[in-house]
């Protein structure tokens, strides 16, 4: 039968379809949005079947008395393509020069950096539901879920250029003396390595916490490098500790970067980027207008923090509570625990000192407050056009877990230069 009505993108991505229907599969919406992003490219074939099934389900809901065939669903899918990408805050470049995949994508810090350099993302994955919501709002794409599942891995297309991954740090159960590929089984690095082994991208760019250097007395990093260099046959220069504050954001955030190149590219030299000659401070990213009273600490809570700090310092222990001056540099933003108290600031631009129900006691008149989620976004180098669609608690977690975009971009620029030079030499 011919489709008697049209179906809009919002009807397939909207709340009604999500809550009142069982989707075509747990991969339905991810495959659907990935297909829309890649319909003109060879990567689209990896998503087309699931995308059609997803649209078919939506049509069956909208037209319950009609027989919906795959042909009708595909016609509807083609119609949707005309409206797609119109209102995406961070669209892919019109003429991309390379492709990449975004593993452990979070809210898309890697993606912003790579798209700025001319890259097109052909696959993304992230398991956290709130992070996926933020990713979708900004990039028009729903990341796939658990990358450890074979069903998820099967959607990854062949032929992409760069694998990007900010994977979690986990200890390995080293069964043999060598500390190789098989010894990483059961960890998320194993899944990254498995994808590299199958897909053989030209380059890889991995990010992790600085603590990876000494994790398990250095065995974890040694195993990772051994797998990449010897088991997977990639040229991997010595990893570098990169500090975000050296690349234009007022945050003291050290992370280890690991880059690698497939050996047949004959790239045998790589230099990490030098620090930018830019002086920045919190004042550069501070909210220009007064912020909501909810970000100000109460007298009760502020006094509690001060007492805790005294007790911990007397024992020689550090403590999260710290006030960052306008001319200072923030501590690394982190999620959980006392994460939001590591970066308090003075800001007396407040006129409403009435009690707030969510705050025990009166708002302090010293003007000491937490940084806002937008300030955390700026500390990580996210532009102000980046949409924050989630509650503050989720936003802090997401930015705390994210990468510092300018530092990622500066490093990725050098990686991309190498592989593009290789393409010119062929």
| Residue 366 covered by a domain | yes
Domain that holds residue 304: 288-371
Q: What is the mean pLDDT of residues 397-412?
A: 96
Q: Which of these three, 57, 83, 109, is where a domain ends?
A: 83
Residue 354 · residue 292 · CB < 8 Å = no
Q: Beta-carbon neighbour count of residue 245 at 10 Å?
A: 24
The Cα–Cα gap between 242 and 227 comes to 22
Q: What is the mean pLDDT of residues 149-174?
A: 87
Q: Which of these three, 83, 106, 121, is where a domain ends?
A: 83
Residue ranges of alpha helices (H) inside 39-173 are: 48-62, 70-83, 109-116, 129-139, 150-153
Together in a domain, 48 and 114:
no
Together in a domain, 126 and 210:
yes
| Residue 176 reports pLDDT greater than 50 | no
| Residue 3 covered by a domain | no
* Cα distances (angstroms) measured from residue 148 to each of 81, 154, 155, 163, 204: 31, 11, 12, 16, 18
The Cα–Cα gap between 265 and 425 comes to 10
Higher pLDDT, 6 or 18: 6
pLDDT band at 13; cut points 50, 70, 90: low
| Residue 342 covered by a domain | yes
Residues of 31-47 as b/e, b for ≥16 C-beta within 10 angstroms?
Answer: bbbbbbbbbeeebbebb
Domain count, the chain: 3
Active site residue 169: yes
The CATH number linked to 163 is 3.40.50.150
Return the ∠ at Cα 10 (arms to 5 and 14), rounded to 5°. 120
| Residue 303 covered by a domain | yes
Together in a domain, 130 and 267:
yes
| Residue 269 covered by a domain | yes
Together in a domain, 74 and 102:
no
pLDDT, one tens digit per residue, over 78-115 is 888 877 777 899 999 999 999 999 999 999 999 999 99
The Cα–Cα gap between 311 and 318 comes to 10
Order the strands of the 323-324 sheet from edge to edge: 323-324, 344-346, 368-370
* Cα distances (angstroms) measured from residue 78 to each of 40, 71, 82, 111, 426: 11, 11, 7, 26, 36
Q: Is the pTM of this model over 0.85?
A: yes
| Residue 414 covered by a domain | yes
Q: Specify the pLDDT at position 389.
A: 97
**Which candidate in 13, 121, 164, 169 is catalytic?**
169
From the list 344, 331, 329, 338, the residue with the least C-alpha distance to 298 is 344
Q: Report the greatest alpha carbon distance in the chain.
A: 78
Together in a domain, 61 and 204:
no
Strand partners, 257: 207, 240
Q: Beta-carbon neighbour count of residue 307 at 10 Å?
A: 11
Together in a domain, 20 and 120:
no
Strand partners, 203: 162, 261
Q: Which of these three, 83, 107, 137, is where a domain ends?
A: 83
The Cα–Cα gap between 28 and 67 comes to 20
Tokens for 136? 């979708």
| Residue 88 covered by a domain | no
Together in a domain, 181 and 227:
yes
Q: Residue 348 phi/psi, 5° resolution?
A: -90, 15
Q: Specify the pLDDT at position 371.
A: 95
| Residue 3 reports pLDDT greater than 50 | no
| Residue 145 reports pLDDT greater than 80 | yes
Together in a domain, 173 and 321:
no
Q: Euclidean distance between the first and final Cα of the chain, in Å?
A: 51
For the residues of 376-397, what is the DSSP string, one character each?
HHHHTT--TTS---S-HHHHHH
pLDDT, one tens digit per residue, over 231-286 is 999 999 999 999 999 999 999 999 999 999 999 999 999 999 999 989 999 999 99
The Cα–Cα gap between 81 and 19 comes to 24
Q: Specify the pLDDT at position 424.
A: 74
| Residue 383 covered by a domain | no
Together in a domain, 13 and 60:
yes
Together in a domain, 307 and 334:
yes
Together in a domain, 233 and 181:
yes
Tokens for 205? 């760019």
Q: Specify the pLDDT at position 423.
A: 73
The Cα–Cα gap between 135 and 110 comes to 11
Together in a domain, 312 and 358:
yes
pLDDT, one tens digit per residue, over 179-210 is 666 767 778 999 999 999 999 999 999 999 89
């Amino acid at each position: 039968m011919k489709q008697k009505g049209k179906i809009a993108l919002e009807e397939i991505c909207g709340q009604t379809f999500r809550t009142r229907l069982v989707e075509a599969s747990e991969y339905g919406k991810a495959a659907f949005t990935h297909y829309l992003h890649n319909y003109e490219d060879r990567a689209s074939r990896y998503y087309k079947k699931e995308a059609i099934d997803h649209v078919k389900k939506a049509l069956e809901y909208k037209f319950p008395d009609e027989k919906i065939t795959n042909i009708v669903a595909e016609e509807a899918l083609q119609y949707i393509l005309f409206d797609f990408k119109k209102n995406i805050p961070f669209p892919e470049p019109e003429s991309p020069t390379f492709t990449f995949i975004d593993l452990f994508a979070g809210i898309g810090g890697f993606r912003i950096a790579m798209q700025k350099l001319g890259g097109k993302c052909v696959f993304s994955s992230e398991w956290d539901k709130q992070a996926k919501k933020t990713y979708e709002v900004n990039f028009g794409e729903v990341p796939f879920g658990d990358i450890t599942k074979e069903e998820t891995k099967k959607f990854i297309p062949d032929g992409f250029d760069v694998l990007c991954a900010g994977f979690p740090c986990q200890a390995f159960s080293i069964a043999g003396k060598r500390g190789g590929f098989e010894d990483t089984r059961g960890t998320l690095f194993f899944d990254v390595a498995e994808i590299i082994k199958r897909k053989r991208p030209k380059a890889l760019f991995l990010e992790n916490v600085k603590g990876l250097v000494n994790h398990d007395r250095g065995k974890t990093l040694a195993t990772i490098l051994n797998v990449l260099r010897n088991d997977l046959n990639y040229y991997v220069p010595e990893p570098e500790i990169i500090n975000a504050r050296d690349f234009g954001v007022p945050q003291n955030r050290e992370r280890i970067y690991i880059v690698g190149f497939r050996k047949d590219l004959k790239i045998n030299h790589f230099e990490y980027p030098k620090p930018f000659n830019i002086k920045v401070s919190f004042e550069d990213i501070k909210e220009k207008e007064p912020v909501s009273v909810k970000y100000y600490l109460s007298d009760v809570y502020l006094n509690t923090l001060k007492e805790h700090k005294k007790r911990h310092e007397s024992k020689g222990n550090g403590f999260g509570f710290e006030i960052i001056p306008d001319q200072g540099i923030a501590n690394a933003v982190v999620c959980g625990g006392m994460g939001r108290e590591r970066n308090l600031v003075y800001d007396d631009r407040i006129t409403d000192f009435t009690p707030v129900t969510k705050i025990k006691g009166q708002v302090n008149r010293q003007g000491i407050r937490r940084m806002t989620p937008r300030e955390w976004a700026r500390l990580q180098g996210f532009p102000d056009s980046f949409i924050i669609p989630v509650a503050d608690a989720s936003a802090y977690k997401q930015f705390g877990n994210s990468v510092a975009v300018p530092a990622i971009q500066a490093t990725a620029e050098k990686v991309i230069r190498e592989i593009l030079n290789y393409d010119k030499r062929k």
